[in-house]
């Protein structure tokens, strides 16, 4: 190895390291403050690691706050949304992948359009529509709204997974007398299982993070999702930094779990329509 290429390699590794530090530092700080006992919080403000670690903040948040309820609500909402969207999107994604039909162009155009226009402008009318139906302040209402927002992106994602499976499989099944739907259910779906898991992961992460509609549609503590609960906690008890950050760490866990599950499919997911980036 020549001296020049040595220098280049070292510079390359250092640059990667810099990116890793930048990416992880805020999360590290979150964890650090959540583990710092209250009496050290201000005296050791900018130290990289507290001289004493305690789990008191976590214990308090889990035992004496509403965060377990928020966590459960968010799990219900994000989980149901992920399941509903994945079922709907595998059907419509299959239609886009396997059929040539007249309205296809318009369906694709409509779904692309929904990815482009500002969802924030729907906040007011959706509130007005859901409120007489009793769907504000309810987890069901959130599931319906989030499902609609995520279906277009998930459809494109599922379509890309179906496109990767050869058509001969269904054709062979149809020659044996199966209908297209049977072939879809019994042959194609099982082959798409990794894709289905990825779609569930993407939709779950998106629904877990959603903030604006949850703020607008939910007002009480009983139906509050994690972001709503955390923000109201922040505005009420804005000095309990340790507890806030312990709650933040809890909110991070499901997102990280799903991130490592869907990591392999990031490229496909981001190019399919990019619902949350």
CB of 125 to other proteins, least distance (A): 4
- Supply angle C-alpha 212, 114, 149, rounded to 5: 45
Length of the chain: 277
* Residue nearer to other proteins on the CB measure, 45 or 190: 45
Asked whether the beta carbons of 200 and 161 are under 8 A apart, the reply is no
Tell me the per-residue interface mask from 50 to 79 with other proteins, x by CB under 8 A, - otherwise: ------------------------------
> For residues 118 and 190, which CB has a smaller minimum distance to other proteins in the complex?
118
**Which one among 81, 92, 160, 243 touches other proteins, defined by CB under 8 A?**
92
Per DSSP, the three-state class of 61 is helix
Gap between the Cα atoms of 196 and 269, Å rounded:
12
- Quick one: which segment of 59-67, 87-95, 161-169, 189-197 binds other proteins (CB under 8 A)? 87-95
Give the C-alpha separation, 168 to 176, whole Å. 12
40 part of the interface to other proteins, by CB under 8 A: no
Q: Which is nearer to other proteins, 118 or 220 (CB)?
A: 118
Region binding other proteins by CB under 8 A among candidate stretches 12-20, 57-65, 164-172, 190-198: 12-20
Smallest gap from Cβ 252 to other proteins, in A, equals: 6
Residues 244, 191: Cα–Cα separation, whole Å: 43
Cite the DSSP H helix spans in the chain: 3-35, 38-41, 56-64, 67-98, 104-116, 123-130, 139-163, 168-175, 180-183, 189-191, 193-209, 212-217, 226-236, 241-262, 266-271
Q: Which is nearer to other proteins, 111 or 139 (CB)?
A: 111
For residue 146, what are its two tokens? 């989030």
Answer for which of 40, 83, 95, 187 binds other proteins (CB under 8 A) is 95
Binders of other proteins in range 163-222 (CB under 8 A): 180-181, 205, 208-209, 211-212, 215-216
Instruction: Using the minimum distance from each CB to other proteins, give the nearer residue, 8 or 169.
Output: 8
Interaction of residue 244 with other proteins, rule CB under 8 A: yes
**266 contributes a contact to other proteins by CB under 8 A:** yes
- Alpha carbons within 13 A on the beta-carbon side of 224: 18
- Between residue 213 and residue 232, which ones bind other proteins under the rule CB under 8 A? 215-216, 227, 230-231
Task: Decide whether 82 or 151 has the Cβ nearer to other proteins.
Answer: 151
Q: How many residues bind other proteins (CB under 8 A)?
A: 88
Phi, psi of 260 (to 5 degrees): -70, -25
Return the residue matching tokens 């919080």.
Answer: 41
Interaction residues for other proteins, span 104-163 (CB under 8 A): 104, 107, 110-111, 114, 116-129, 144-145, 147-149, 151-152, 155
3-state secondary structure 73-90: HHHHHHHHHHHHHHHHHH
């Amino acid at each position: 190895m020549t001296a020049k290429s040595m220098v280049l390699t070292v510079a390359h590794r250092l640059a990667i390291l810099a990116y890793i530090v930048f990416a992880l530092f805020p999360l590290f700080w979150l964890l650090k403050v959540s583990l710092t006992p209250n009496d050290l919080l201000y005296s050791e403000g900018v130290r990289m690691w507290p001289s004493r670690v305690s789990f008191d903040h976590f214990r308090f948040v889990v035992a004496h706050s509403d965060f377990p309820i928020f966590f459960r609500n968010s799990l219900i909402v994000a989980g149901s949304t992920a399941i509903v969207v994945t079922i709907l999107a595998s059907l419509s994604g299959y239609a886009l992948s396997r059929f040539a039909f007249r309205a296809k162009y318009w369906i694709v155009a409509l779904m692309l359009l929904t990815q482009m226009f500002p969802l924030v402008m729907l906040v007011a009318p959706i509130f007005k529509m859901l409120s007489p139906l009793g769907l504000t302040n309810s987890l069901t209402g959130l599931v319906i709204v989030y499902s609609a927002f995520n279906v277009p992106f998930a459809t494109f994602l599922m379509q890309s997974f179906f496109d990767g499976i050869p058509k001969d499989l269904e054709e062979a099944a149809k020659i044996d007398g199966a209908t297209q739907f049977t072939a879809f259910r019994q042959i194609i779906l099982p082959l798409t299982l990794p894709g289905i898991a990825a779609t569930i992961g993407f939709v779950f992460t998106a629904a877990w993070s959603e903030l604006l509609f949850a703020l607008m549609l939910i007002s009480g503590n009983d139906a509050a999702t994690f972001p709503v609960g955390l923000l109201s906690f922040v505005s009420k008890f804005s000095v309990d930094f340790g507890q806030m950050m312990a709650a933040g760490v809890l909110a991070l866990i499901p997102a990280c779990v799903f991130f490592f599950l869907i990591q392999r499919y990031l490229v496909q997911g981001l190019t399919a329509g990019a619902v949350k980036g």
